[in-house]
């Protein structure tokens, strides 16, 4: 229980230091040491600056011959969709301009004429989609597990079973939507066991289940559970293309053919049908190749670095319970966090977020850790702490 109380007690004070939804602090810092590779201990993955993005795209084009689409049909985008269909084990996949559109359209189609949609109180669907569910898609979100990472199957069952007592004029239950991992609780995961129970309950009640898996690769990386297994418990799954797959924007929604086939029309009438989408498709398709392995290597690298640094008396790096790529870092009282941060940046091209008054911060593990050998990073920290 305690682990799930995190948000209430600590998240708010840390939030300004490391805003969960603004991954890259480096946008305003183009003055990097030339020639030197960068490690960023924030963000969920490589988020390219334009110059790097174009260079990468150039490489892809030379090797793979990108083929353009028209309104999302044909060419490289179809290859991307096919790839995600295989990866998730779902019949069909479709590219969309945003995660909000993917979540909302999935929930809306799954719900049919039923309006009640159960979500985590901390979820993106409930808190970060600007009332889209109610004001555009005309569904009623029912938040569960205030400030927690997840609700249990029992809590869900209880909420559903008490509805007849709580309301006189009953309305139907459409969908249960689960975000995993949850960004607002610092990337903590929903336990697989709970997902299984929820899925079994929903199936028994003919309630549809949607997975906001924007960062499902992170859950998969840290839990060791395959994306296909996660997806198997849900009717639909959305995965982000820009958080760690290099695209400038975009989302993939996967599910049954019957559900996905309704999407082009719905995208069109909501204004989300774009003429050409091949650039984001090509980038994500290319970066997807080998990503799971690179992520595993990044995790190993992080463990190596953190284990070694934890031998130092003035630094303590600890994973969150049920966490993914976010780690707590605490410095001893006498250590100057600001100097550490500056030295890492200027002398070693390693970026970390600022420390708060209690000398605490959070480090995010991502692909950029592979840009330097572990030893170099360890030494960089040690030298920067002894400045």
Indicate which single residue of 29, 158, 171, 303 sits in contact with a copy of itself (rule: CB under 8 A): 171
- Contact at 8 Å (CB) between 112 and 262? no
Region binding a copy of itself by CB under 8 A among candidate stretches 31-39, 113-121, 221-229, 306-314: 113-121
Closest CA to 213 of 196, 197, 236, 247: 236
Q: Which of 2, 161, 206, 275 binds a copy of itself (CB under 8 A)?
A: 275
Question: Is beta strand 116-120 parallel, antiparallel or unpaired with respect to 140-144?
Answer: parallel
Name which of 280 and 349 has its Cβ closer to a copy of itself: 280
Residues in Cβ contact with 136 at an 8 Å cutoff, skipping those fewer than 6 apart? 104, 270
Shortest distance in whole angstroms from residue 70 CB to a copy of itself: 7
Please state, in angstroms and rounded to a whole number, the distance separating the CA atoms of residues 59 and 94: 25
Segment contacting a copy of itself by CB under 8 A, of 230-238, 246-254, 289-297, 360-368:
246-254
- Residue 129 binds to a copy of itself (criterion: CB under 8 A): yes
Q: Does 278 bind a copy of itself (CB under 8 A)?
A: yes
Angstrom distance (rounded) from CA 195 to CA 215 = 16
Site for a copy of itself in 76-105 (CB under 8 A): 76, 96-98, 100-102, 104-105
Q: How far is CA 103 from CA 38, 129, 132, 237, in A?
A: 33, 9, 10, 8
- Please identify, using beta-carbon distances, which residue of 128 and 342 lies nearer to a copy of itself: 128
Site for a copy of itself in 11-70 (CB under 8 A): 12, 15, 21-22, 27, 49-51, 53-55, 57-58, 61, 66-68, 70
Q: Is 164 in the site for a copy of itself (CB under 8 A)?
A: no
Give the contacts of 330 (CB within 8 A, at least 6 positions apart).
Answer: 315, 316, 317, 318, 358, 359, 360
Q: Which two tokens stand for residue 309?
A: 């640094």
> Is residue 196 close enough to count as binding a copy of itself by CB under 8 A?
no
Q: Taking contact as CB under 8 A, which single stretch among the options 134-142, 208-216, 231-239, 374-382 is the one that binds a copy of itself?
A: 134-142
Name the residue nearer to a copy of itself (CB basis): 279 or 369. 279
How many residues interact with a copy of itself (rule CB under 8 A)?
Answer: 72
Helix (H) or strand (E) holding 60: helix 50-64
Distance CA 257, CA 116 (A): 24
- Count other Cβ atoms within 10 Å, centred on residue 242: 22
Q: Are 110 and 174 a contacting pair, CB within 8 Å?
A: yes
Q: Using CB under 8 A, which of 82, 228, 268, 300 touches a copy of itself?
A: 268
Judged by beta carbon, residue 118 or residue 381, the one nearer a copy of itself is: 118
Stretch that binds a copy of itself, among 127-135, 150-158, 253-261, 303-311 (CB under 8 A): 127-135
Instruction: Among 110, 132, 329, 369, indicate the residue that binds a copy of itself (CB under 8 A).
Output: 132
Q: By CB neighbour count within 10 A (0-12 exposed, 13-18 middle, 19+ buried), where does 261 fall? A: middle
Residue whose CB is less far from a copy of itself, 60 or 231: 60
> Closest Cα to residue 40, out of 285, 341, 315?
341
Q: Is 215 in the site for a copy of itself (CB under 8 A)?
A: no
Stretch that binds a copy of itself, among 197-205, 227-235, 270-278, 353-361 (CB under 8 A): 270-278
Task: Please tell me the distance from the alpha carbon of residue 46 to that of residue 283, in angstroms, as a whole number.
Answer: 12
**Assigned token pair, 348:** 């070693």
Shortest Cβ 22–a copy of itself spacing (Å): 7
Residue 273 engages a copy of itself in binding (rule: CB under 8 A) = yes
| Nearest alpha-carbon partner for 186 in 137, 135, 149 | 149
Q: Segment 247-266, which members bind a copy of itself (CB under 8 A)? A: 247-250, 262, 265
């Amino acid at each position: 229980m305690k682990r799930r109380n995190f948000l209430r007690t600590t998240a708010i004070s840390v939030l300004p230091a490391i805003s969960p939804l603004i991954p890259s602090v480096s946008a305003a810092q183009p003055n990097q040491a030339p020639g030197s590779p960068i490690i960023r201990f924030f963000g969920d993955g490589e988020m390219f600056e334009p110059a790097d993005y174009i260079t990468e795209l150039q490489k892809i084009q030379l090797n793979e011959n990108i083929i353009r689409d028209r309104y999302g049909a044909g060419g490289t985008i179809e290859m991307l969709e096919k790839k995600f269909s295989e990866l998730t084990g779902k019949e069909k996949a479709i590219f969309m301009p945003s995660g909000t559109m993917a979540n909302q359209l999935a929930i809306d189609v799954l719900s049919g004429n039923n309006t009640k949609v159960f979500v985590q109180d901390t979820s993106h669907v409930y808190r970060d989609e600007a009332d889209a569910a109610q004001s555009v898609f005309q569904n009623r979100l029912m938040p569960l597990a205030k400030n927690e990472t997840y609700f249990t199957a029992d809590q869900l069952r209880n909420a559903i079973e008490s509805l007849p007592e709580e309301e006189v004029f009953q309305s139907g239950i459409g969908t249960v939507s689960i975000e995993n991992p949850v960004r607002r609780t610092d990337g903590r995961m929903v336990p697989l066991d709970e997902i299984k129970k929820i899925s079994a309950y929903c199936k028994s009640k003919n309630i549809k289940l949607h997975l906001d898996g924007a960062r499902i690769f992170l859950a998969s990386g840290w839990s060791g559970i395959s994306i296909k297994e996660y997806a198997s418990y849900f009717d639909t799954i959305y995965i982000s293309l820009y958080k760690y797959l290099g695209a400038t924007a975009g989302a993939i929604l996967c599910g049954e053919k019957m559900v996905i086939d309704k999407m082009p029309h719905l995208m069109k009438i909501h204004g989300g049908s774009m003429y050409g989408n091949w650039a984001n498709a090509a980038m994500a398709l290319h970066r997807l190749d080998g990503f799971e392995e690179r992520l595993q290597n990044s995790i190993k690298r992080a463990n190596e670095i953190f284990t070694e640094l934890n031998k130092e008396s003035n630094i303590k790096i600890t994973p969150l319970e049920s966490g993914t790529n976010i780690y707590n870092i605490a410095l001893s009282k006498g250590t100057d966090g600001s100097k550490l941060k500056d030295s890492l940046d200027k002398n070693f091209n390693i970026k970390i977020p600022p420390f708060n008054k209690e000398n605490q911060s959070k480090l995010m593990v991502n692909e950029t850790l592979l840009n330097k050998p572990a030893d170099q990073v360890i030494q960089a920290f040690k030298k920067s702490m002894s400045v």
